[in-house]
């Protein structure tokens, strides 16, 4: 599948590398490809500089948001949640029309410091905002309840015996995304319902952040026992 991954923080390159390793044709979308490729400073979370990452993953192309989305059959939104709508607008509504947007971002609000709050919350979600802004796209919220390494390698935590959620209005789009999740190794995929259920998935983040602080690691996930 031709897949565009928007975002060059810790999540985007992690997902892009995993999808490329699975045989997908992957391009990373960014505002300024030249500036991104020239980055030699370590990532904000301590990961490798983008230039070093790309040297090790040269099969993954780097393009503008618009060019990446235009070339793709499916788009992964791995941008900072506060800038997701701006990034997707730069990608272009026409380039997103009819395509699945796999939204893994969280609307974290750091305006009052750490730990962050959520904006929007309770009566809306980032997933819903994206769907409203791009009504011809098929938005599926998923993977936002875990750290990047667990997203693509669930077996690294409890042998993969944990849960991942999907929310979206389009059943066929959720099947496509579920196929990608299974490719990563996820076994317990729970369909929460339409895109409004992304509110609940996003509201997992406050407890996730506090667990990260208590455990001293992001290498954990949630398991729905039933």
Q: How far apart are the first and last CA of the chain?
A: 34
- Token pair for residue 12? 């985007």
Q: What is the pLDDT of residues 138-172, one digit of tens each?
A: 999 999 999 999 999 999 999 999 999 999 999 99
Over range 96-107, report the average pLDDT.
98
Q: What is the pLDDT of residues 110-138, one digit of tens each?
A: 999 999 999 999 999 999 999 999 999 99
**pLDDT band at residue 43 under the 50/70/90 scheme:** confident
Instruction: Give the whole-number percent of the chain exceeding pLDDT 70.
Output: 99
- Token pair for residue 157? 């935590």
Is the CA virtual torsion 66, 195, 120, 181 positive or negative?
Answer: negative
Distance CA 165, CA 191 (A): 6
Over range 37-51, report the average pLDDT.
85
Distance CA 45, CA 31 (A): 20
Over range 9-22, report the average pLDDT.
97
The predicted pLDDT at position 45 comes to 72
**pLDDT band at residue 47 under the 50/70/90 scheme:** confident
The predicted pLDDT at position 179 comes to 98
Q: Regarding the domain delimited by 2-215, which CATH topology (the fold level of the hierarchy) does it fall under? A: Rossmann fold (3.40.50)
Residue closest to 191 by CA, chosen among 158, 214, 168: 168
The predicted pLDDT at position 222 comes to 98
Over range 76-81, report the average pLDDT.
98
> Mean pLDDT of all residues in the chain?
97
pLDDT at 198 over 90: yes
The predicted pLDDT at position 42 comes to 83
**pLDDT band at residue 189 under the 50/70/90 scheme:** very high
pLDDT at 201 over 80: yes
Over range 7-30, report the average pLDDT.
97
């Amino acid at each position: 599948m031709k897949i565009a991954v928007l975002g060059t923080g810790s999540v985007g390159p992690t997902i892009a590398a995993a999808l490329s390793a699975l045989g997908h044709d992957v391009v990373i979308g960014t505002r300024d490809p030249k500036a991104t490729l020239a980055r030699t400073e370590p990532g904000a979370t301590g990961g490798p500089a983008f230039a070093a990452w790309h040297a090790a993953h040269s099969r993954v192309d780097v393009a503008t948001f618009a060019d990446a989305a235009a070339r793709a059959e499916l788009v992964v939104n791995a941008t900072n949640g506060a800038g997701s709508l701006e990034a997707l607008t730069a990608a272009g509504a026409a380039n997103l029309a009819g395509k699945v947007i796999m939204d893994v971002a969280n609307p974290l609000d750091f305006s009052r410091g750490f730990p962050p709050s959520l904006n929007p919350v309770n009566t809306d979600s980032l997933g819903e905002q994206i769907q409203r802004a791009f009504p011809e796209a098929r938005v599926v919220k998923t993977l936002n309840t875990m750290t990047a390494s667990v997203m693509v390698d669930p077996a690294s935590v409890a042998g993969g015996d944990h849960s991942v959620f999907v929310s979206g209005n389009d059943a066929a789009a959720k099947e496509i995304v579920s196929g990608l999740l299974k490719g990563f190794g996820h076994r317990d995929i729970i369909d929460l319902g339409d895109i409004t259920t992304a509110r609940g998935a996003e509201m997992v983040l406050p407890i996730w952040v506090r667990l990260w602080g208590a455990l001293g690691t992001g290498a954990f996930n949630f398991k729905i026992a039933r």
